[in-house]
Amino acid sequence: MTPRVAFVVHAGREAALALATSAQTMLETKGVDIEMIALSPPLDGRSDGVLDDFTADLVVSLGGDGTFLRAAAHAHRLDIPILGVNFGRVGYLLEVPPAEIHHAILEALDGNLALERRATLSVEVPGDRGVQRIQAINEVSIEKTTPGHVVRVETRIDGEQFLTFAADGVLVATPTGSTAYNLSAGGPVLAPGLDGFVLTSVAPHFVLDRSVVLAGNQEVTLDVVGDRSAVCVIDGVTIRTLAPGQQIRCWRDERWLKVVTLAERGIGRRLRESLRQGHE
């Protein structure tokens, strides 16, 4: 059977489009069927019709973190491995340098590259027609809606009351997302293959400001309390406003995201390179 690869490309990035075009030409000479999917900016939505129906043996993301997150959500749903091409971004998302794309794709199709299992989150969010379940690749957060004011969030772990935060927000991040919003909020970096996630408050007022690392079989509930509403954001996309008394619930999803990795780059080197890039 002819191998099939889906290129998910940020249409606003000339370098990504050029690389996708050259890679398509080369790979088709090797007998690989390429489907090109261009995502138009701004990348601020979750229901992308162009991604709903594709089938492939491998998904390749060419763009930035937003492109990867949108592609990864669909790769996860279809249980397809994903390979992220690194255009100089920070974090665990984009593993392969542009110069290695052809070799990496062929090696991945032949089964010669490692597949790293990444934990994702299932998030239950109240909706107009009942509870909606959404997958989070990086993180889910509850954030304030009014500048200059905090939001009050009561947290529960496995149903047991933990702390009530008065803060700019509270987030729950996967290991993949630990180098994103969680890191900027002062949270720890988790090894990408860890079976667990982290709870971090954002600019808390007069309360414990340390993150809590949880096991993969645990569950977190975030309740909006007090008299101010909040907004629920998943992987950088605003999902809905939450009124006082509403809550979200999240846990590690049973299905793992499969990410193609280069075995020669261990966690130390990956962190050193990605965090250095973040300060350049």
- By annotation, the residues acting in catalysis are 65
Distance of CA 118 to the CA centre of its chain: 10
3-class secondary structure, 248: strand
Spatial contact of 121 and 134, defined as CB atoms under 8 Å apart: no
Spatial contact of 91 and 66, defined as CB atoms under 8 Å apart: no
Supply φ then ψ for residue 225, to 5 degrees.
Answer: -125, 175
Distance separating alpha carbons of residues 7 and 45, to the nearest angstrom: 19
Spatial contact of 143 and 230, defined as CB atoms under 8 Å apart: yes
Residue 191: DSSP 8-state: P
User: Which amino acid is present at 58?
Assistant: L
CA distances from 211 to 42, 110, 223 (A): 32, 41, 18
Distance of CA 91 to the CA centre of its chain: 10
Q: Is 79 left (phi over 0), alpha (psi -120 to 50) or beta?
A: left
